[in-house]
Amino acid sequence: MTSLDLFALKYYNNYFFLFQTYIVTQVATYLSPALLYMYGKWLLSPEFVNKLFFRGSILGITLMTTFILRSYGRAINPKYQEFYNDLLNAKLDYSTENKKKLHSYDFDFSAWPIDFSWTPAEEKSYKSNLISNNFKMSLKLLSSPSRLIGFIALHTFGISLIYPGSTSLLFYLMNQNLQKGRRALITSFGGVRYKLKTIDGNFVDSMFIDKRHSNINSLNPKLIICTEGNAGFYEAGIMSSAIETHHSVLGWNHPGFGYSTGVPYIEQEQNAAETVIEFAIKHLKFSPKSIVLYGWSIGGFASTHLAKKFPDVHAVILDATFDDLSPLAIPRMPGFAEKLVDFTVKEFTNLNVAENLVQYPGPVLLIRRSSDEIIALDPQNVATNRANYLLELLLERRFPKLFSNESRSALWVWLSTSGEQQKQVHLQYDVDLNNQSKLFPSSNKNYPLNLGDGWKDQEKIKMLLYLADYYMKDYNSTHCTPLPTRYLGFII
C-alpha cells in the first residue's frame, strides 16, 4: 500500500468518525424542543436526568479518548510524520519542489495551501460592492412578502433540490469513490490538484492534467474546462471523456461539492467559474483562444456564463443542457406552488443558459440525449427535451432572417425526431447537407447575420435544417451515460 493509499484510508476513517459525531449532535439539536416539552410536563424525572448526564459523560470521555489515541497513532507513525513535515515545509515555502512532494498525498483540503487567489485590491472592491448589494437586497425582501418567502425557501431546502451534490449526505455516500477517482487522475494521468480562492472567499477544489508537452496535439494544444452537473464531481464525471481527446483538461467542483467550500447560489457559482478560468489564463498560461468550455447538464450555466464573459474562447460544448431552469423546476413541485416556484427561480437562481449562450459569438456544439429523463419533460417524447429550445433560441439569435412560420415549423418537425428519422426529415425537405455547407459563411462571427434575407421559404428551410444538424448532435442515451469522446471531436 502506497503512502497515498495510507493517508486516504486514514482520512476516510477520520471523516467517518466525525460524521458519526455530527449525526449525534444533529439528532440532539432536532430533538431538543421535544425534550424541553417533555421536561416541562414532568415526564423527565431527576433520576432520568442523572442517568442521561452520566451516559453523556461516558460518551464524551470515549470521544476524547478516541481523539487522543488517534493523535498518538499519528505521532508514532513515520509516514504521517513525513507527511506532516512536507506540509509544514510547503506552507513555509510553497516552492515547486515542496508542491510536488505535497501532491503525493491526499489529505484534508482545508489544510491545503492556496495555489491561486485574486489580488487584495480586487477582493476589497468586491466586498465593498457586496455590502451595497446586500443592503439593496434586504430592502427588496422587506418590501415584498412573496420575495421573502421565495428567498427563505431557496436558502433552506431549495438549493439542495437544485444542487443535490452540495448536500453532506451525498458527499458522505460518494466520498470513498471520489478518493479513488482523484487517485486515478493523479497516478494514471499525471493530474495535479490545485486549491483556488474565489473573490468571495470560497475555495475551489480543482484538478489539472497537462498534455501540452505530449506528442499528440502538441502543435495545436487546447485546454478543456469541465463543469459538472448538479450531482457531479470532477473525480467521477465528464473529465474522463475530455481526457481521451489528448488535450489538457481542467476539472473543478461547484461550491459546496466535495471539498469545495460555499453553497452553489448563483453568485458563488459565477465567482467560482470565473476563478477557474482566471487561474487557467494567469497561472496555467493558456490563452482564451485555446480554451474549450465543456458543460454537462446544469454545468452548462457556468460554461455559458464564462463564454459570455470571455467571448474569445475557442468553443463551447453543452451536453444534456437546458435553456432555462424554470420550465424544469415547475413540473417537479406541487401545482399550488407553481407561481412561487417560477418567481423564486427567476428572482434568485435564474440559471438561464440560453440568455448567456446567445451572447457568445464563437463555435457552439449542443449534444442532445434522445432518451434524457432529466431535461425532457416527457422522456418518451424527444420534442419535450429543453435542448431543443436552446437550439432554437441560438439559431434565431444568429440567423433571424431564416425564420418564418414555415421554416420554424419544419425545424420543429426535425427536433421532434431523432436518429434515422431526422434523415427522413432531410429527405422530406430535400436537404443536401454538403450543398448547404457551401452556402454557410462559417467564418463570419458578426451575429446576427443577414443569411436568408430575401430567400424563399424552401431555401430557408433547407439552410435552417442544415444549421440545426451543424449545431446539435444526437446521442441515443439517458442523461447520465458517459459521453463518447467522438462527440467532442466535432468541434475540437
- Can you spell out the DSSP letters for 40-72? HTT-S-HHHHHHHHHHHHHHHHHHHHHHHHHHH
Which residues, in sequence order, are CB contacts of 229 under 8 Å at separation 6+? 165, 237, 296, 297, 298, 299, 320
Quick one: the chain helix, strand, coil %, rounded to 5? 60, 10, 30
Assign 329 a pLDDT band (cuts: 50, 70, 90): very high
Q: Please tell me the predicted confidence (pLDDT) of residue 17.
A: 45
The rounded mean pLDDT for the chain is 89
Report the chain's terminal Cα–Cα distance, integer Å: 39
Q: How far is CA 370 from the centre of its chain?
A: 22
Q: Compute the distance between CA of residue 58 and CA of residue 51 in angstroms, rounded to an integer.
A: 11
Helix (H, G, I), strand (E, B) or coil at 364: strand
203, three cell numbers: 475555495
Assign 142 a pLDDT band (cuts: 50, 70, 90): confident
Assign 3 a pLDDT band (cuts: 50, 70, 90): very low
Asked if 270 and 305 count as a contact pair (C-beta separation under 8 A), the reply is yes
Q: Please tell me the predicted confidence (pLDDT) of residue 29.
A: 53
Ordered by where they begin, the domains of the chain are 173-324+351-490 (3.40.50.1820)
Minimal CA–CA distance to 280: which of 362, 208, 191?
Answer: 208
pLDDT tens digits along 457-490: 999 999 999 999 999 999 999 999 999 999 999 9
pTM for this one?
A: 0.86
Give the percent of the chain with pLDDT over 70.
90
Assign 182 a pLDDT band (cuts: 50, 70, 90): very high
Tell me what the mean pLDDT of segment 93-102 comes to. 87
Tell me what the mean pLDDT of segment 77-96 comes to. 88
**Lowest-confidence range among 82-96, 306-320, 418-432?**
82-96
Tell me what the mean pLDDT of segment 19-32 comes to. 51
Q: Compute the distance between CA of residue 402 and CA of residue 397 in angstroms, rounded to an integer.
A: 10
